[in-house]
A and B are shown apart, each in its own frame.
Chain A
Amino acid sequence: MRNPGLPLHRALMLCATIALLFACLVYTLYAANLIAFPYDYDQGEGFEVQDSALLSQFTLPYLDTETYPFYSSNYPPLFHVMAAPFVWFFGPAYWYGRLLGFAASLLIAAAIAHAVYRDGHQNRWIALLAGLAFISSNFVYHIGPLFRQTIMMVAFETLAVVVLARAFPRGDKRGITLALFFLLCAGYTKQLAAITALAVILWMFLRGPRRALICTLGFGLAGGLVFLWLNLASGGQWWTQAIVANVNDFFYDQAVGLFRLWFGLHGFLLVPAALLVVVELYADRLSIYSIWFLATAALGGISAGTWGAGDSYLVTSIAAACMLSGIFFSRMLANAWRPSRILQVLPLARIASVSLLLAPILYLGYARATLKMPTTGEFAPLADLLGIERNVSFHTRQDEPGFYDSASWIAGGYARIGYFLTEADHAAGAQIVAQIQQTDKPVLSEDAGFAIAAGRDVVTNPTQLRNLYLAGQFAGDELARMIEYQEFGLIILRAQFFPPHILEAMGQAYVHNETVFMNGFDYLLLFPRPGYEPRAAS
């Protein structure tokens, strides 16, 4: 007999699909907007460009920060290695790194859809919605099309998990090797992948402790050899710059704030995902997706509370939640559960009927909860129709930008990204580059993009110097001396992340003459103070 709820189910599924496709459209427009912008959008992107440029010349970016240009990277090299061939053809630029990030996010969505289809009773429509749900996440939206390595790390992690979910239970050695290779790639894209590695090892241990031990030994050996090579090849700088300098302070309020935001935005899918974990725990076998979800939600969330971290640290858990919730909905709709004494007490047939409406309604709710869009221009009529207004504002300009984000700026105001850039931002960047070209001396810029655009040396990586300084690994005597003797023709500050004594030297020897507003921030332009007599070199 035909189920009377089916037409309504299809109508609601169609609405959910349209809502999530709209999120995908906004994301694509945002990516296109960012790809055309030749300067920093998110703080630190320029240093990723610089890392790619160094690696394209077969130079490791783990350098001694006590000597000119006082530059070092604090990230593993794989993402920059992937961008290096683009440097050979197009020179140092932002667009290809952002394009790689955007492509990686689409790859993750496809992998999620594939896993939901394969392991969730072959429901194509739910698989599609699960993939689109990942793209719709505010956290993914914020960081996807950036020249940053987080999204590429998540892509490698997702591929590793999807391949291993099938390969390990079957004893498919080629598949297991491929999955562990992806995991190794994730780890050498960003250190945070250690959480996924831990989850994967735990799951393998549950399924086959002996094989897990063998796989872990092989994986550990391969990872350890790469680590050793990097450390030897960089003269020990890899350890100092990528490991020691990455131990940062933990802020409880930041972690709790991000957890709340994570749940508030993604709760419509997090609850079904958690329910599937409970079902697997008591009435089925724990899947790799469940262990992955638990580990990345708990440990990723805690890591998000460290200085310099943010919402991006929870993106892996969102990928896992999209998979688990998709599989949960597919199984509910098909009433396809493993025979279990515990599940027998539940009215499964009735639950399947209810889920015809519940699954699309939850996806619709999720689409609304994660809504973000411009509120001006072509989007203005739709914003009016949806009854949404601009709810974000810059530090110094409360009337901008015209953008609505249900994340309403990240907890603690740390990551203020997501809005579209304008012609005024392009012009402001060009104005700063023109100032750089006025001087023949080196320029110290807190965002590397201006120096790159002007064809100058990239001098310093302020966050890295700050972290090294706090770890007791940076004295900065030579940098302070160069500032004292006004050897830089111009200093450009944005967040003022430099160690205190460096900032103090800048304040003495340079004078703030101009402020350029770009990309939501005030860029302070400091020029050599006329008639300044250098103090005795420290």
Chain B
Amino acid sequence: MVILCWQRFTAPAAESILRAMNADDTGISKQQLGMILLVGGIVGFCAILSVDIMDVGREGGIGPAQTLALIAMALVVVVGLTLLPLGDAPA
């Protein structure tokens, strides 16, 4: 189940990357970059949150550094979303 969810999330990014590695090697489009940032941001956000689940012995819940990291990941997700409409323009 976890693997299926993971694949559902990462498949579009992987597809974008592979499509970009074409014979001309022209680079990533803004839409592809947006997708990578979106997936990366979500994965990063979940990973930072999971620190508390993996290391249950930690004290104090979400600390200031963790809060900043979560905000940064949320920002990455927002930037990723705003890049999606820009289509095939080169990143």
Q: Which residues of A contact B (CB under 8 A)?
A: 205-211, 213, 250, 252, 255, 281-282, 285-286, 298
Contacts and interface: CB of A to CB of B under 8 A. Distances in A.
B27 A207 contact: yes
Contacts, number: 35
Contact of A211 (B25, B28, B91): B25
Nearest to B32: A206
B65 A210 contact: no
Contact of B25 (A209, A250, A252, A298): A209
Contacts of B79: 281
Interface of B: 17, 20-21, 25-28, 30, 33, 63-65, 72, 79, 82-83, 86, 90-91
A161 B16 CA distance: 26
Contacts of B91: 206, 285-286
A252 B27 contact: no
A206 B33 contact: yes
Given A206-B33, A298-B72, 7 more contacts: A205-B28, A206-B91, A208-B25, A210-B21, A210-B25, A282-B86, A285-B90
Q: Which residue, of A205, A213, A298, has the highest number of chain B Cβ atoms within 10 A?
A: A205
5 contacts: A206-B27, A207-B27, A209-B17, A281-B79, A282-B86
Contacts of B33: 206
A298 B75 CA distance: 13
B64 A209 contact: no
Nearest to A305: B65
B65 A208 contact: no
Q: Closest 8 interchain pairs by CB? A: A208-B25, A210-B25, A209-B21, A207-B27, A210-B21, A206-B28, A252-B65, A209-B20
Nearest to B27: A207
A281 B28 contact: no
A211 B25 CA distance: 7
Contacts of A282: 30, 82-83, 86
Nearest to A210: B25
A255 B82 CA distance: 30
A7 to B, nearest CB: 40
A412 to B, nearest CB: 16
Contacts of B72: 298
Nearest to B17: A209
Contact of A281 (B17, B25, B27, B83): B83
A252 B60 CA distance: 15
Contacts of A207: 27-28
Contacts of B25: 208-211
A173 to B, nearest CB: 14
A213 B21 CA distance: 10
